[in-house]
Amino acid sequence: MKKIHIIGLGLLGGSFALALKKAKPEIKFTGYDSNSQNQEDAIALGIIEEAKEKPDMDTDVIVLATPANTLSELLVKTLDEIGPNTLVMDFGSTKEALCKSVADHPKREQYLAGHPIAGTEYSGPKAAQENLLDKKVFIICEMEKTNIHLKGMAYEILEALNMKLRFMDPEEHDRHLAFVSHLSHISSFMLGKTVLDKMEDEKNIFDMAGSGFASTVRLAKSSPAMWAPIMEENKKNILDAMSLYIASLSKFRDKIIADDYEGLANEMGKVNKIRDILDLGQ
């Protein structure tokens, strides 16, 4: 493995390159981003050696790390153009529509549907971190559809990055991510909006914002250019998750209206078990 090309030189694409460069310095990285400033920054930061729109024909791996609603078209186009020994993998947050878009493609076996469960609220190549992917989960969907030799190359990369592999169906992936990732971002955005709307009347509200507010609203600093497409691609699952969340908020509100504070305490006590679940997963 000598050449890797990254399309989308942002947080994930950049962090992937920085980490793999450290583990395998012999690999040459090229890349492309529709934002020319991102390309310049990626070169300056040592994420890639050269910016080019089309990878060399002898490129071993092409990584697609662009917004979710661009991936289907980009994946088909990339598979159309590659030679027989190139693996294409993506870092998209949604998988069902993407996998369906290439289900009948003659080069389907050269695609690995992946999703690194890692990120921050920041975006762009300047946000890239060498250790972002270390010990993080990497989900692979439809593993059996990827060519065994190309899949071996992907495993070599993921092992070098010290990532933990999980295997899921695309539908299961999107359904679960709607709850544990996408809903979290929506909640954070809307909490931020609620407080900003209130600030119009009460200018000093942020003076009282402590660490609890800061940690809860942290995700509201995330890029809309990344997250609006995720809402578009995972619409059905996100709406299901939001409906359940809104129902839970309504029931919580009803207990406060009814002065049922013992019921509130019991409800919060039940939710406390999430602490053990999260601690176990770390």
Residue 75 CA to residue 87 CA, distance in Å, equals 11
Q: In what order do the strands lie in the sheet with 50-51?
A: 50-51, 28-32, 3-7, 61-64, 87-90, 111-116, 137-141, 164-168
The residue-averaged pLDDT of 144-172 equals: 96
The more confident residue out of 126 and 198 is 126
The pLDDT > 90 percentage for the chain reads 84
> How do residues 10-32 score in pLDDT, each as one tens digit?
999 999 999 999 999 999 999 99
Q: Across all residues in the chain, what is the average pLDDT?
A: 93
Which sequence spans correspond to the domains of the chain?
A: 3-169, 172-281
**What is the per-residue pLDDT for 281?**
55
| pTM, full prediction | 0.89
> How do residues 73-115 score in pLDDT, each as one tens digit?
999 999 999 999 999 999 999 999 999 999 999 999 999 999 9
* Alpha-carbon distances of 122 from 102, 189, 226, rounded to whole Å: 31, 14, 11
**What is the per-residue pLDDT for 243?**
98
> How do residues 201-250 score in pLDDT, each as one tens digit?
666 776 777 778 888 888 999 899 999 999 999 999 999 999 999 999 99
Q: Which CATH superfamily is domain 172-281 in?
A: 6-phosphogluconate dehydrogenase C-terminal like domain (1.10.3660.10)
> Which uninterrupted H or E stretch holds 167?
strand 164-168
The pLDDT > 70 percentage for the chain reads 97
Which CATH code, of 3.40.50.2300, 3.40.50.720, 2.40.50.1020, 3.40.50.10860, is assigned to 3-169? 3.40.50.720
209 φ/ψ angles, rounded to the nearest 5 degrees: -80, 115
Query: Residue 3 above 80 pLDDT?
Result: yes
Find where tokens 């890639």 sit.
48
**What is the per-residue pLDDT for 105?**
98
What does the radius of gyration of the chain's CA atoms come to, in whole angstroms? 21
